[in-house]
Amino acid sequence: MTTLHPFDQALALQHSDLRSGLFTGTTSPAYWNMVGPFGGATAALALQAVLKHPDLLGEPVSLTVNFAAAIEAGAFEILALPVRTNRSTQHWTVSISQNGQVNTTATVLTALRRETWSESDLPPPEVPRPSDVEPIRIGPEGVAWLAQYEMRPISGKPPSVWDGSGTDSESRLWLREAPQRALDFASLAAMSDLFFPRVWLRRATRVPAGTVSITTYFHADANVLAGVGTGYLLGRARAQRFFNGYFDQSAQLWSEAGALLATSNQIVYYKE
C-alpha cells in the first residue's frame, strides 16, 4: 500500500459538486503555522481546486491569493469558478470558506502556452552547490510546516541574536520538500511563500508579521517541472520598502540547472 506524501494529503479535495466547482477538504496538521495553515499550503489548495476542475484550460500562468482571515483547524470549502474562457486563456476566481465565512480569496490565470521565442533576463546568482551547504531549520521552533522542507541557507540566515542590528533583507538558499517529492505547480506555488518575514532579517528583531496577499508567476510548463523532479530549487528573497506596518517581498525560484521557474511578490503586515 502506497502512503501519500504529506503534501498530497494536505491537498486532498473531495468533489462536493464538481461541475459547479465546489470542493471540500480538511486542514493538515503537518502544514500548520503559528495561528493557521502555512500560507504557501493555502495558496496551493486554491490552485489545486482549479487544477482539479473538469473545465480547466491550459496550465497556470499566475496565482494571486489574499489572506482575509486565518483558517481554523478542520473542514473547509473551496469554490473555483472559471469566470471567462477565451481561445487560449482562462480566468478564475477562488474562495475558501468555513462556516459560511470567506477567509481566503484568489484569482488564477491559466493558458495554453504555444512554443515561441523564450529567454531569461534574470540569471541565478553564483552560489555553492547544495551538497556544499549545510541544512538548517529556519524559523520558530514548534511550527509544524517547517519540518516538511529541507532548507540549506547560503546567505541571509535568521539572526542568531535578536538585537536590532540587521542591515539587509536578502536571503539565498537551496530548498526542496522533505520527504522528497517531484515538483509540480502546487508545490511550486507553496515554495514561493517559503521565506521567513524579511522584517525579521532587516531588523534582527522578531515581531508579529504575516502575508496579506501574494502573487506568483509561473515561468515553466509541466514538462519543465517534470525535468526538475525531486531536485533542489535555488530561492532568493528580499524586501524593497518597509513603511507604517507593511512591507513588500520579492522572490525568485530557479532549478539546479539555472532555469527560472517562478517569481513572486507579496505584501506583508508587521507590528512593532
Residues 37-83: tens digit of each pLDDT? 999 999 999 999 999 999 999 999 999 999 999 999 999 999 999 99
pTM of the model: 0.96
Sheet holding 101-111, edge to edge: 14-17, 22-26, 75-85, 89-98, 101-111, 59-67, 209-218, 260-270, 246-255, 233-243, 171-177, 149-155
Give me the mean pLDDT over the 140-152 stretch: 90
Cα–Cα nearest to 50, from 121, 127, 126, 106: 106
Query: Structural domains in the chain?
Result: 6-112+130-270 (2.40.160.210)
Round to whole Å and give the CA distance between 49 and 45.
6
Whether the pLDDT of residue 1 is over 70: the answer is: no
Q: Are 59 and 188 in contact (CB under 8 A)?
A: no
Mean pLDDT of 188-207: 96
The C-alpha cell that represents 25 in the structure block: 477538504
Cα separation, 207 vs 195, whole angstroms: 15
For the chain, give the percent of residues with pLDDT over 90.
Answer: 92
Q: What is the DSSP secondary structure assignment for residue 32, as one 8-state letter?
A: B
**Cell 481546486 sits on residue:** 49
Using the Cα atoms of residue 199, residue 201, residue 207 and residue 208 in order, give the sign of their dihedral: positive
Mean pLDDT across the chain: 95
C-alpha cell at 66: 489574499
- DSSP conformation letters of 178-193: SS-----HHHHHHHTT
Alpha-carbon dihedral sign for residues 9, 40, 196, 218 = positive
Q: Say whether pLDDT at 186 is over 70.
A: yes
> Which residues lie below 8 Å from residue 248, measured CB to CB, with a gap of 6+?
239, 240, 241, 265, 266, 267, 268
Query: Does pLDDT of 133 surpass 70?
Result: yes
φ, ψ at 16 (rounded to 5°): -65, -45
Phi-psi region at 133: left, alpha or beta (left = phi > 0; alpha = psi -120 to 50) = beta
